[in-house]
Structure 1
Amino acid sequence: MQFIPGVILFVIVVGILANGISIVPQAQALIIERLGRYHATWDAGVHLMIPFVDRIAKRVNLKEQVADFPPQPVITKDNVTMRIDSVVFFVITEPKLYAYGVENPISAIENLTATTLRNIIGSMDLDTTLTSRETINTEMRSQLDVATDPWGIKVNRVELKNILPPDAIREAMEKQMKAEREKRELITLAQGKKESAVLNAQGNKEAAILNAEAEKQTAILRAEAEKERKIQEAEGQAKAIRAVKEAEADGIRLIREAGADEAVLKLRSLDALTRVADGRATKIVIPSDIQNMAGLVTALKETASVATPGDGSEKKA
């Protein structure tokens, strides 16, 4: 019977000691209070705490966290009301300040983000707001980082998710965008037509140049062909004349070599004279030395008549 209370006491002691052992995971920190006051910040690892004296006041997540806030109404410099929702990326660098600096850090960051956003957008007009996301993000991150430093929070990035202008302005912007798109399409179409016209003009120019070159080459070839033809004709005529003159020279040479007398030469002259008349001349001037040959020609004709077979009267004679 005395053994049972000892076992119970042992179990109680072991339980108390086990409860005093605390294991802190990686990327977390524990805020330890002793008798209600801040005592220490435990990082990752095994730690011992005094039962009933020390307690874990807060568990702090040291990873980078994302706070997505709902859209906030803001007014631009030109009195346009729009809604903007933002995302804040932050990390806790001082767990003690985070635990004791502000009651609700996330709510504090949300309200601080809304007021900072209103101040920045209030100094911009609508067009600047829609085209200056990067400027707004940088300015907000800088101001939030300074404001949250006493809370042990470092703001790494701030992003504007959506900028929602009023429906009327959004419709006007859509119409403007449509008009700009149609304008760009018309400009593109006009440029395409212009380029097509330029290409056609260049093509026509090149075609005209090629045609002119072809006509020029054709004319040159025709002129060269005509030149060659005339040269060949002239060479042919020269060869013919040369051949005739050579034949005449050969004839004269043969006559001289044959020893022809003056009578034969006169007969050749008479024959040439006959060919000149050719039955068409109405007046022929006969040299005096050829006129003296008339009797000789008559005698030759008679001799030729006797020698040539004819009618019966010639035979009787």
Structure 2
Amino acid sequence: MDNIPLYVILFFALFIFLSSFFTVKQQTSAIVERFGKFQSIRHSGLQLKIPIVDKIAGKINLKIQQLDVIIETKTKENVFVKMKVSVQFKVIQDKVYEAFYKLEYPHDQITSYVFDVVRAEVPKLKLDDVFERKDDIAIAVKRELNEAMTTYGYDIINTLITDIDPDIQVKNAMNRINAADREKSAAEYEAEAGRIRIVAKAKAEAESKRLQGQGIADQRREIARGLVESVDILNKVGINSQEASALIVVTQHYDTLQAIGADANSNLILLPNSPQAGSDMLNNMVASFTASNQVGESMKRYQKKKDSGQEVKRSMTDFNQSEESKSRDKENPENTDLV
């Protein structure tokens, strides 16, 4: 001992003293073994151990951890999909011993259970149902993991299905179906809009025609009323109805010519358009009115004669029937008595 320098002894003593203390971080547990045998579990803070005899076998993280598992499986209609299942878990603080000594690779264990549950549930569902019922699948995974991992000191906080990725050909087909449905809906809406436009246009045209017809009727009514008033005025000065009608027509003829001539850009031609057209029209109208009156008088006389002939014929028929009745009464006096 005398040959050992003092500073070596001091250094060795300091080393022994310092190795007796160790610290554990927050949300962490340390496993202390003595000669390879479990001794104790130390939590966060400054801890003491026997140097050389005790050693730290390992540390357990008590924080919530997440494990992402990618699974490829098929649906009921044999469509292969890739699913991403995110498992959130943590070590139970009271079961650090089980988590450290009973299970060496917890991630592998959790992955195996996730594969088992997902490949048991998804083949029962169609692809559309997989998307709609992904929460049910996640709940089934969580239930199965909790039953299995609690024994090993792990608590499953939550399981989430964060991605469902079908085969690329299936996705293209689904997109085409979706696009076709949207095009169908768009076509139906466009057809309905077209129908509404047609109906509205038809109603507007009908209303326009009705108003136009009403306007024309009102216009003709006013024209007729004006003509009647004009004829009455002309009759008061000694002009008869035929001459008055002819005069009005000729006046309208010249008014029309004046209106046509007032428009410099008009390409309308009125036929006939000779200087004597007005007088010819007047003579023709007077002649037609005279002929019309003659025809009307002839029709009246003919109708009177026809009515007179029918009366005579009816009287003769009644007389003949009366004479026949009298002759029958003379031949059969018994009928008369009976009567």
TM-score by length of 2: 0.55
Matches within 5 A, 1:94-173: 94-173=95-174
Q: Residue 192 of structure 1: CA displacement?
A: 4.5
- Three-state SS of the structure 1 residue aligned to 2:184 is helix
The letter for the 1-side match of 2:65 is Q
The letter for the 1-side match of 2:47 is H
Conservation of the 8 A alpha-carbon contact between 2:113 and 2:144: no
Q: Residue 74 of structure 1: CA displacement?
A: 1.2
Change in Cα spacing, 1:31 to 1:196, as seen in structure 2 (3 Å) is: farther
- 1:296 paired residue number: none
- Three-state SS of the structure 2 residue aligned to 1:149 is helix
Q: Residue 88 of structure 1: CA displacement?
A: 1.2
1:77 aligns with 2:85: no
- 1:92 paired residue number: 91
Q: Residue 4 of structure 1: CA displacement?
A: 6.0
Conservation of the 8 A alpha-carbon contact between 2:117 and 2:140: no
Q: Which runs of 5+ in 1 are unaligned?
A: 216-317
Mapped to 1, the partners of 2:196 and 2:98 lie a distance apart of: 69
Q: Residue 170 of structure 1: CA displacement?
A: 2.1
Percent of aligned pairs with the same residue?
A: 25
Matches within 5 A, 1:173-192: 173-192=174-193
Conservation of the 8 A alpha-carbon contact between 2:27 and 2:44: yes
Aligned length in residues: 214
Q: What is the root-mean-square deviation in Å for CA atoms of aligned residues?
A: 3.2
Matches within 5 A, 1:1-317: 2=2, 5-69=5-69, 71-93=70-92, 94-193=95-194
Query: Relative to structure 2, which stretch is displaced further, 79-88 or 20-29?
Result: 79-88
Change in Cα spacing, 1:144 to 1:198, as seen in structure 2 (3 Å) is: farther
- Three-state SS of the structure 1 residue aligned to 2:5 is helix
Residue deviations 1:141-173, cap 9 Å, x none?
121122111121111122223222233322221
The letter for the 2-side match of 1:31 is I
TM-score by length of 1: 0.58
Larger Rg: 1
Mapped to 2, the partners of 1:178 and 1:104 lie a distance apart of: 47
Mapped to 2, the partners of 1:201 and 1:2 lie a distance apart of: 125
The letter for the 1-side match of 2:117 is T
Mapped to 1, the partners of 2:118 and 2:28 lie a distance apart of: 31
- Three-state SS of the structure 2 residue aligned to 1:122 is helix
The letter for the 1-side match of 2:14 is V
Change in Cα spacing, 1:199 to 1:151, as seen in structure 2 (3 Å) is: farther
Residue deviations 1:2-48, cap 9 Å, x none?
59633311221211121120111111111111221222111111110
Q: Which runs of 5+ in 2 are unaligned?
A: 216-339
Residue deviations 1:210-268, cap 9 Å, x none?
x8xxx9xxxxxxxxxxxxxxxxxxxxxxxxxxxxxxxxxxxxxxxxxxxxxxxxxxxxx
- Three-state SS of the structure 2 residue aligned to 1:11 is helix
- 1:255 paired residue number: none
Mapped to 1, the partners of 2:201 and 2:65 lie a distance apart of: 64
Residue deviations 1:183-233, cap 9 Å, x none?
23234434555666787789x59x89xx8xxx9xxxxxxxxxxxxxxxxxx
Q: Residue 174 of structure 1: CA displacement?
A: 1.5
- Three-state SS of the structure 2 residue aligned to 1:33 is strand
Q: Residue 179 of structure 1: CA displacement?
A: 0.9
Mapped to 1, the partners of 2:58 and 2:31 lie a distance apart of: 5
